[in-house]
Amino acid sequence: MKLVYAIVNDEDNPRLMAELNKSGYRVTKLNSTGGFLRSGNTTLMIVVDDDKLDDVLDIIRKFSSSRKAAINTNVTPAAIGGAYIPYPVEVMVGGATVFVLNVEHFEKM
């Protein structure tokens, strides 16, 4: 058995969880916060048999797409005399970070 930790953007979470549930996978959801943009993330924990791992990873890939978004930075450009002006920057958001671990014992009570 495998334990899949998938850290996904909050915007991707509802579609991804719905599709995993529809495909028969039980999912535990943990709310978390990202570091770089301090944006909301969701960590999903899924226990699957070894032969179902590729199916779960395919679903995560399909429903956790990366996309570009504009954010305002908190950086003060030195070239404009130190005044604070929000400066929009385009960054990639979404996608998933996935960890797969071996499970020695699993018991549902």
Tens digits of residue pLDDT in 28-75? 998 777 655 556 788 999 999 999 999 999 999 999 876 676 666 665
C-alpha distances in Å from residue 55, one per residue of 19, 20, 27, 58, 83: 11, 10, 14, 5, 51
Asked if residue 109 is part of any domain, the answer here is no
Q: How far apart are CA 74 and CA 72, in angstroms?
A: 7
Asked if residue 108 is part of any domain, the answer here is no
pTM score, whole prediction: 0.73
Strands ordered across the beta sheet of 96-102: 28-33, 40-48, 2-9, 96-102
Boundaries of domain holding 78 = 2-102
User: CATH number, domain at 72?
Assistant: 3.30.70.120
Q: How far apart are CA 63 and CA 32, in angstroms?
A: 19
